[in-house]
Homo-oligomer: A and B are copies of this chain.
């Protein structure tokens, strides 16, 4: 079995898409993340949901749990509505060491190793610069559990 046998269509966003749209898409479809396309339509990264949250959290609260605690409930709720006009580009994790992107001939072992190394719940499957779909953690877990 290879990546091509497990891949499924997966929604994408562009680097300059509003991150609020990306959050809406993830929320509506219960997705763990999105595939990000560059200007040429080639997957350039994965945007994990946990990193979208970073944009809703002021920098000083991300670094220091005690500072998040002193902001009262009403203000905390307001921060959580404040994605504003920020773009996917701003939500991207800084300089990833390795991208969760593979080719359709990758074996399940390669996909699993890539997912484990990058801690990404989805891997984009790309052939000659064109996105074919994604292999999700759930699809691999189904294989692993034999369900």
Chain A contacts to B: CB under 8 angstroms: 1-2, 20, 23-24, 26-28, 30, 32, 48-54, 56-57, 61-62, 65, 68-69, 71-73, 75-77, 79-81, 83, 106-110, 112-121, 137-138, 140-147
Determine which of B30, B77, B114, B120 lies in contact with A108 in the assembled complex, contact meaning CB atoms within 8 Å: B77
Contacts of A52 in B (CB 8 A): 141, 144
- B109/A79 in contact, CB under 8 A: yes
- A1/B116 in contact, CB under 8 A: no
- A143/B80 in contact, CB under 8 A: yes
- B80/A117 in contact, CB under 8 A: no
Complex copy number for this chain: 2
- B119/A121 in contact, CB under 8 A: no
- B32/A116 in contact, CB under 8 A: no
State the main secondary structure of chain A at its contact with B: helix
Shortest distance between the CB of A83 and any CB in chain B (Å): 7
Complex Cα gap A20–B141 (Å): 10
- B115/A50 in contact, CB under 8 A: yes
Shortest distance between the CB of A113 and any CB in chain B (Å): 5
Q: List 22 A-B contacts (CB under 8 A).
A: A20-B145, A24-B146, A24-B147, A49-B121, A50-B137, A53-B115, A53-B116, A53-B140, A53-B144, A57-B113, A62-B117, A68-B113, A71-B109, A76-B107, A77-B107, A80-B109, A80-B112, A80-B144, A81-B146, A83-B144, A119-B119, A121-B121
